[in-house]
Structure 1
Amino acid sequence: MPSTTVNGVSLYYEVEGDGPPLLLIAGLGSSSLAWAAAVPRLREGYTVITVDNRGTGRSEVPPGPYAVDDLADDTAALVDHLGLGPVAAVGWSLGGSVLQSMVIRHARVLSKAVLLNAFPSYTAIQDGWLDAGLALRRAGVDPVAIGMHSMPWAFTPRLLSDHTVAAAQAELARKDPYPTTLAGFEAQAAGLRRYDSRPDLPSAHTPTLVLAGAEDVLTPVSQSVEIAKLMPNATLQVLPRGGHGMLLEYLDDTLAAITAYLGNGAP
C-alpha cells in the first residue's frame, strides 16, 4: 500500500492507468474512495492519482485544524514526490478549495484544473449545514442516518424519490472500510469554513474549467459564476442536470465534460 510522508504527515495514495497524469482531490471527510466510480473509466486514458487527504482514509490524522492551504501544500508535495508533474487535477467540493489554493500557490505542479461543485468561501447556509453535520457526528449518530440527512443537499429528486436507490446509497457509509474519524472531519471542517479564495483568484492563471450542476443547492451555480469571473483563464460550464453529487448521480455527463476539457485521455 503506497504512502509517503510530506510536510510531516503520512499520506496514502494510489496511481493507476496509463496516459497523461490526472490528480483527483476528494471533498470534506471523504477519502479517495469518493472517486471509486470514476477511476475505472478515467484510468483507460490517464495515469490517475488519488490521495486520502490528511485526516481521511488511510492517511494520518494529526491534530487539527487543517487550513486549506495545508492540504494544498500536502498535495503539491505529493506530486513532487511522484515526479509526475505538471498534472491535470480535478477538485470536488472541499477538493475544489484545495485546488484553488494550488492554482494560486502551486501552479508549477499543474497543467489544467477542473473545479467541480466548488465555492470561493462559505455562506451562512453552508455554515449551518456544516454545524448540523458536526452535531450529528459528535452525538454518535449512525453514519447511515447522517448520510440520509445529507442526501437532499447532494442529490436531486430524481434519486431521492426512489427510496430503494437512496437507501442503498446511504448504506455505503456503513461499508466504508476506512471511515473518517470525528477528529479528522472536525479538523478539515474548521479550515474549510474559514477559507476565502477570492482575494487571490485574479492572480491564478492555470487554465481552469469551473464545472457545476444546475441543480446544486449546497454549492449553487452562483458560486461557480463568482469563481469563473475572478479567474483570468477560467471557463464556466453548467450541466443542466445534477447537484452536488453529480459525479455519482450523473457520472457519464460529468466525466464527459471533464475529459472534453482536459483532452488527451479517456473516452
Structure 2
Amino acid sequence: MPHIQLKDVNLYYEQQGEGPNLVMVAGLGVDHSMWNTEYFAKDFRVTVLDNRGAGQSSTPKGPWSMKVMAADVIALCDALGIKKAHFVGHSMGGHITQMIGALYPQYCDKLVIACSEQFFSIISRLATNQQIVLMNYNLPPRVLLQNYLPLLFSMDFLENEDKVNAFLDFMLDNPYAQSPEGYILQTEALRTHDSRPLLERIKAPSLILGCEDDLLTPLKNSQYLAKHISNATLKVIPNCGHAPFVEYPEMFNQMILDYLKN
C-alpha cells in the first residue's frame, strides 16, 4: 500500500475517487480508517492519511507540534501533485486543519473543522494524562478504551450496549492500532497547540462543526473558532459527544458533503 517518505517521517496514505481534491485528517489515537472514504469518493478525489505516530505511518523522534503535522499534510499534497484542496479535520485533525488554513492558505478551498479547539483545554489535558498513566499498568486494550468512553460519547450512545461493543470491536480489530509511544508524542504535540494568534489568518470558507454533548472539546470551543475565523459557519450536532462519525455518521458525513458541494 502507498507510503511516501517525507524528510523525517514515512507517511501512509490512500486515495479514492475523482473530482476536486478533498484531504481528510484524523484525530488523536486513530488513523485514516475513521473516515468513510467511499462516501466522499463519489464526488471528490479523496486523500486520507495516517498522521505521524499512528496507523501505518512511522513514529519519528519528537518533539512534534501541530505546525509540524500540518507541514506533513502539505508535503504529502506536494508529493501527490495536489495544489488546492478542501481540508477536513476532526479533533486533533481539526487543530492541524487550523494550522493549514493559517499557514498554507494558497492550498485551501474550503475547511471543515470538527470537534476542535483553539488550545489544548484542561479537560483534554486531564483525560490524556490519565490515559498515559494507565498505559503504564499493562491493562488490556479493551479496558483502556472503555475507560475513555464516557469522554467520547453521549449518554444515549453509552446506554446502547450493541453500539458500544461495535465501536470497541472496530477499534480493537485494527491491526495497526496506535502504539503508546505514538499516543504520547501526539499528546505532547497537542499540549503546545494554541491557534488563537493565527485564527485571523484563516480566510478560506470554514465550516465549524460542534457537538452539543462533547466533553473533550466542549461546544464553546467551536463557538470561539466560529467567532474568530472571518469566513466561518457554525453547525451543531445535537445529543452527540466527541465522535459524531460514530454516533451519527450519516448526519456528520452529509453535513460535510453539503458544505463542500454548495
- Report the TM-score when normalising by structure 1: 0.94
- Code of the residue aligned with 1:237 in structure 2: it is K
Per the TM alignment, residue 241 of structure 1 is displaced from its structure 2 partner at its CA by 3.3
Shift of 1:133: 1.1
Contact 1:68 1:192 in 2 (8 A): yes
| SS of the residue 1:197 aligns to | coil
Q: CA RMSD in A?
A: 1.2
Give the distance between the partners of 2:244 and 2:225, measured in 1 at CA. Answer: 19
1:109-258 equivalence runs, <5 A: 109-258=107-256
Tell me which amino acid in the other structure corresponds to 2:19: G
Shift of 1:85: 2.6
The 3-state SS of whatever aligns with 1:152 is helix
Mapped to 1, the partners of 2:142 and 2:74 lie a distance apart of 33
Distance in 2 between the 1:111 and 1:189 partners? Answer: 28
Deviation at 1:216, TM superposition (A): 1.2
CA contact (8 A) 1:143 1:173 kept: no
Aligned partner of 2:3: which letter? S
**Of 50-59 and 233-242, the range deviating more from structure 2:** 233-242
SS at match of 2:10: strand
Structure 2 counterpart of 1:219, which letter? T
Structure 1 residue 41 displacement after superposition:
1.1
Equivalent residues of 2:167, 2:246 under 8 A apart: no
Which secondary structure does the structure 1 equivalent of 2:127 belong to?
Answer: helix
In structure 1, what is the equivalent of residue 100 of structure 2?
A: 102
Q: Which residue of 2 aligns with 1:49?
A: 47
Moved more, 20-29 or 161-170: 161-170
TM score, norm. by length of structure 2: 0.96
Q: Distance in 2 between matches of 1:194 and 1:218?
A: 17
User: 1: distance between equivalents of 2:121 and 2:58?
Assistant: 29
- 1:16 maps to a residue whose letter is Q
Deviation per residue, 1:197-253 (Å, 9 max, x gap): 001101211111101111212111100011111111111111223211111110111
- In 2: Cα distance, 1:145 partner to 1:171 partner: 12
Deviation of 1:168 after TM superposition, in Å, equals 2.6
Counterpart for residue 29 of structure 2: 29
2:15 corresponding residue in structure 1: 15
In structure 2, the residue corresponding to 1:199 is in which secondary structure? coil
Q: CA deviation at 1:151?
A: 1.2
Pairwise CA distance, 1:95: 0.2
Unpaired segments of 5 or more residues in structure 1?
none
Q: Structure 2 unaligned segments of length 5 or more: list them.
A: none
